[in-house]
């Protein structure tokens, strides 16, 4: 009898411990699900001249090779005019700040230009669900090489960027779209999406061309 009573008391104690644990497993406990956003710090520039070498032919070929090495597809390249056009779908060519999702006190932070994320959102009182967030980027780069006389025939490059960025959010359950917007901006611009996300060039294109 006493043994049975002590087991009952231990069971009650364990039940109390479980009840007091913050297990983070019950949807009803998610009271402060939020999405916070820190915009990027950008000093965008576009079309500026950058010294890239001292030999025109070598600089032209090096630029092509560096673009190819970074995954760019060369659309056109004319050594006579010094013009190169290339495109890429890499997300790291832009920056959009950082997103923080989850409960206050234990947020998970990730770049807002991440190609794919699954974020937890409210789904009615005491419930949560998940949305699939996708960012698609298409970048076109126009480079023009030229030799500036009087400066030891240094080869300069003018780099122009054009980014088309799409951000979409959809239910993970049935794929129903809840947000979709596309914006376009040059390397010298910062564009703001309706929901507040700001994107601009990350400077990666210039770094690729300069071999940094």
Partner 1 sequence: MTKKISAWTMFVRAFLVTLFAGTPASQAQQSGVSDDDAWNYAVTVGTAAAVREYLRSFPTGVHIEDAVRLLLNLGELSSTGTLPQLQITETGGNLY
Q: Which residues bind partner 1 (CB under 8 A)?
A: 7, 11, 14, 18, 21-26, 33-41, 97-102, 106-110, 114, 116-124, 127-132, 169, 171-173, 176, 178-179, 195-197
Task: Output the smallest distance, CB 74 to partner 1, in A.
Answer: 30
Q: How far is the CB of 148 from partner 1 (least distance, A)?
A: 36
Nearer to partner 1, 68 or 195 (CB): 195
**Please, what is the minimum distance in Å from the beta carbon of residue 169 to partner 1?**
7
Q: What is the DSSP string of 25-37?
A: --GGG---EEEEE
CA-CA distance, 17 to 7, in Å (whole number)? 15
Task: Find the shortest distance in angstroms from Cβ 198 to partner 1.
Answer: 9
Comparison of 21 and 80: residue with beta carbon closer to partner 1:
21
3-class secondary-structure state, position 130: strand
- C-alpha span between 120 and 123 (Å, rounded): 9
Residue 94 and residue 84 in contact, taking contact as beta carbons nearer than 8 Å: no
Separation of alpha carbons 92 and 205, rounded Å: 9
């Amino acid at each position: 009898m006493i043994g049975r009573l002590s087991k009952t008391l231990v069971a009650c104690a364990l039940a109390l411990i479980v009840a007091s644990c913050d297990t983070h497993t019950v949807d009803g406990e998610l009271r402060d699900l939020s999405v916070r956003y820190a915009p990027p710090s950008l000093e965008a520039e576009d079309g500026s001249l950058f010294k890239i070498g001292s030999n025109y032919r070598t600089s032209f070929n090096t630029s092509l090779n560096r673009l190819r090495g970074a995954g760019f597809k060369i659309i056109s390249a004319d050594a006579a005019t010094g013009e190169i056009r290339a495109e890429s779908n890499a997300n790291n060519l832009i920056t959009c700040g950082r997103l923080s999702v989850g409960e206050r006190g234990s947020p998970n932070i990730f770049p807002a230009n991440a190609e794919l994320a699954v974020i937890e959102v409210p789904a009615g009182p005491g419930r949560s669900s998940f949305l699939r967030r996708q960012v698609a980027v298409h970048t076109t780069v126009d480079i023009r090489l030229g030799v500036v006389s009087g400066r030891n025939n240094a080869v300069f490059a003018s780099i122009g960027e054009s980014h088309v960025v799409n951000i979409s959010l959809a239910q993970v359950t049935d794929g129903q779209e809840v947000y979709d917007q596309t914006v376009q901006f040059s390397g010298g611009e910062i564009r703001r999406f309706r929901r507040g996300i700001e994107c601009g060039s990350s400077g990666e294109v210039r770094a690729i061309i300069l071999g940094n």
